[in-house]
Structure 1
Amino acid sequence: MKFAIIAHDQKKEALVSFIKQHIDEFSRHELFATGTTGLRVSEQTGLHVHRFNSGPLGGDQEIGALVANKEIDAIFFFRDPLTAQPHEPDVSALLRLSDVYDVPLATNEGSAGAIISYYESLGD
């Protein structure tokens, strides 16, 4: 399976922490991330992460292209709902694509827990 992992600046540590809690499951999947998020996840977990540009520089759109080509199975996008994002149209487009192509999308730890529990239940 292929997972996209993205986090706004104020949520990066929460995403890294979540991945560490579920390291066994994340290590079984191919990971794709926006630039800084991917770097932090890779450095702090040792997992291999395919990195794209940072979100404001087109990384959200690059991941969106994978979604549109049915190459992503789930998205873990820890969003910061209290901070305005200069690339909000790109974020909205990615969220829309997840709906269009029926790709599970977690925008917070609660929904991420439900999605990762599903994949853990599938086993190898």
Structure 2
Amino acid sequence: MTRVALIAHDDEKPELIDLATEYDETLESFELIATGTTGKRVIEETGLDVERKASGPLGGDMMIGAEVAEGRIDAIIFLRDPLTAQPHEPDITALLRICDVHDTPLATTRTSAEYVLDGLRREHGQGSNN
């Protein structure tokens, strides 16, 4: 089954929830994992089934990165706040690097996330989301 990770910085969580709501039919056909707070919000606000890891600052980004290294993640949607410094920036940089090393699709903006989700949907023979 396709496994997709969902991550969002605090200011981007509403955007991720909106994206998840718009793509709920697509996302419900995938195995979803997320960092702690993001996963909690996605579950509460969309009803999607999400495996939660630790929050990003407590190692959640690294936990997802480990799954990328093990070949267990097919794509990551990581809506980042580019204007706010993050206390766990080294973990974020490591996650971005491991995605590059393992050629794992990584979307960091709403538009790129839509492209990744549309591509995964087409790859799995699903119809249009809209």
Query: What's the TM-score bracket when you normalise by the shorter of the two chains?
Result: over 0.9
Distance in 2, matches of 1:14 and 1:66, equals 24
Is structure 2 residue 71 aligned with structure 1 residue 70? yes
Instruction: Report the count of equivalent residues.
Output: 124
How far did 1:9 drift?
A: 0.3
Distance in 2, matches of 1:54 and 1:34, equals 5
Match for residue 7 of structure 1?
8
How far did 1:31 drift?
A: 0.4
Distance in 2, matches of 1:64 and 1:27, equals 22
Match for residue 107 of structure 2?
106
Helix, strand or coil: the match of 1:75? strand
Distance in 2, matches of 1:97 and 1:72, equals 11
Helix, strand or coil: the match of 1:31? strand
Distance in 2, matches of 1:35 and 1:90, equals 15
Distance in 1, matches of 2:52 and 2:118, equals 25
Name the amino acid aligned to 2:79.
Answer: F
How far did 1:90 drift?
A: 0.1
Distance in 1, matches of 2:121 and 2:92, equals 27
How far did 1:96 drift?
A: 0.3
Match for residue 38 of structure 1?
39
Name the amino acid aligned to 1:79.
Answer: R
Name the amino acid aligned to 1:108.
Answer: T
Over the residues paired in the alignment, what is the CA RMSD in angstroms?
Answer: 0.7
Helix, strand or coil: the match of 1:82? coil
How far did 1:32 drift?
A: 0.6
Q: Percent identity?
A: 53
Q: Which stretch shifts more, 76-85 or 111-120?
A: 111-120
Distance in 1, matches of 2:45 and 2:11, equals 17
Name the amino acid aligned to 1:34.
Answer: T
Helix, strand or coil: the match of 2:86? coil
Match for residue 60 of structure 1?
61
How far did 1:44 drift?
A: 0.6
Distance in 1, matches of 2:25 and 2:14, equals 18
Helix, strand or coil: the match of 1:3? strand
How far did 1:120 drift?
A: 1.8
Where does structure 1 lack aligned partners over 5 or more consecutive residues? none
How far did 1:121 drift?
A: 1.4
Where does structure 2 lack aligned partners over 5 or more consecutive residues? none
